[in-house]
Amino acid sequence: MKLLVTGGAGFIGSVVTRMLLDAGHEVVVLDDLRTGHREALAPEATHVAASIHDAARVLTPQAGFDGVLHFAALIAAGESMTAPEKYWHTNTVGSLALIDAVRAAGVPRMVFSSTAAVYGNPVELPIPETAVQAPTNTYGATKLAVDMALTSEAVGHGLAAVSLRYFNVAGAYLHGDTALGERHDPETHLIPIALEVAADQRDKLQLFGDDYPTPDGTCVRDYIHVADLARAHLLALDAATAAQHRVYNLGNGNGFTNRQVVDVVREVTGHPVPVEVAPRREGDPAELVASAALARADLGWEPRKPTLHAIVADAWSFYRTHRLGRP
Ligand SMILES: NC(=O)c1ccc[n+]([C@@H]2O[C@H](COP(=O)([O-])OP(=O)(O)OC[C@H]3O[C@@H](n4cnc5c(N)ncnc54)[C@H](O)[C@@H]3O)[C@@H](O)[C@H]2O)c1
């Protein structure tokens, strides 16, 4: 297939691009590099440095695209509460422009990076796709709006749409000469921040709130390896069906408190990780744990690295070699 990958210079989009190319697809990456990295771009993919707001320049009817995988977004839930307009403009307005371009060009299928944040504070755990969607932060709201637009697009215009709702993505893709890992700047995700502390690149790790109704008072999250997550996108492309909008959660179904994650980072790295308790962050749900039963049943998806230890070990390996330059 000829595929457009938006956000293909980012953490997850770069891993999916690598797997698509290895599977024999032709890939064009649309990424304006606002948070992505030029080094993460696959050399065999064509790179167009433009915003998703201008996707129609690339997605012309003549270009003959068979599908779009849409990763480009702003992703910091905390920032989405203090600068919400940036999130609505990029994540929602930008995605609607992309969907307009998909329709105008007659592209038949689209896979979208949705998020566990659409569920807000869940009433049932693990969370199925049918759970109430009531985001507690702007980031989740901007993504839920796109999920809803995709449902309309499937019904109204026959798009084959799939939303994949990721829980916390971590680890790194290490395969042959390829090493693709997490490098957000500023980093807002727990595992890479804990690794920075373990590597003496940061003094201490802040735990945002220790008075949540969880076993040790810190937030509980479900971690998924980026390679397992990426593989689900190739399965979703195949399963996409005209005039249907399918929605799948992707997680391992195991919840870990922030303190438990820090303990695993200490164990894997062999370094101390000093922590400091800070106030809760606005909009953080107490607990997010996925039921990915539907992805397993419908897509035949099976995670290969489901343990937190394996996820942290790969993230540390990438961090050591590619961020610190150590063997
Ligand atoms: N990382 C996670 O744990 C997680 C969890 C749930 C959902 N997601 C979703 O997965 C997707 C990818 O996340 P990531 O961690 O790889 O983020 P990332 O920041 O590493 O990658 C995002 C990429 O999109 C590009 N981009 C952003 N806005 C753009 C625009 N307007 N036009 C063109 N390019 C633009 C950036 O330059 C970057 O390369 C996002 O949609 C995010 O919401 C991520």
Ligand 1 center to 156 CA (angstroms): 27
Q: Is the CB of 135 under 6 A from ligand 1?
A: no
Q: Is the CB of 120 under 6 A from ligand 1?
A: no
Going by pLDDT thresholds of 50, 70 and 90, the confidence category of residue 324 is confident
327 has a pLDDT exceeding 80: no
Q: Write a three-state SS string for the chain.
A: CEEEEECCCCHHHHHHHHHHHHCCCEEEEECCCCCCCHHHCCCCCEEECCCHHHHHHCCCHHHCCCEEEECCCCCCHHHHHHCHHHHHHHHHHHHHHHHHHHHHHCCCEEEEEEEHHHHCCCCCCCECCCCCCCCCCHHHHHHHHHHHHHHHHHHHHCCEEEEEEECEEECCEEECCEEECCCCCCCCCHHHHHHHHHCCCCCCEEEECCCCCCCCCCCEECEEEHHHHHHHHHHHHHHCCCCCEEEEEECCCCCEEHHHHHHHHHHHHCCCCCEEEECCCCCCCCEECECCHHHHHHHCCCCCCCCHHHHHHHHHHHHHHHHCCCC
Q: Is the CB of 59 under 6 A from ligand 1?
A: no
The pLDDT of 28-44, averaged and rounded, is 97
- Residue positions annotated with a catalytic role: 139
Query: Across the chain, what does the average pLDDT equal?
Result: 97
pTM over 0.85? The answer is yes
Domains of the chain: 2-170+225-250 (3.40.50.720), 173-221+253-290+304-323 (3.90.25.10)
pLDDT per residue over 152-197, tens digit each? 999 999 999 999 999 999 999 999 989 999 998 889 999 999 999 9
The pLDDT of 92-114, averaged and rounded, is 98
Return the pLDDT at 91: 98
Return the pLDDT at 326: 81
Going by pLDDT thresholds of 50, 70 and 90, the confidence category of residue 10 is very high
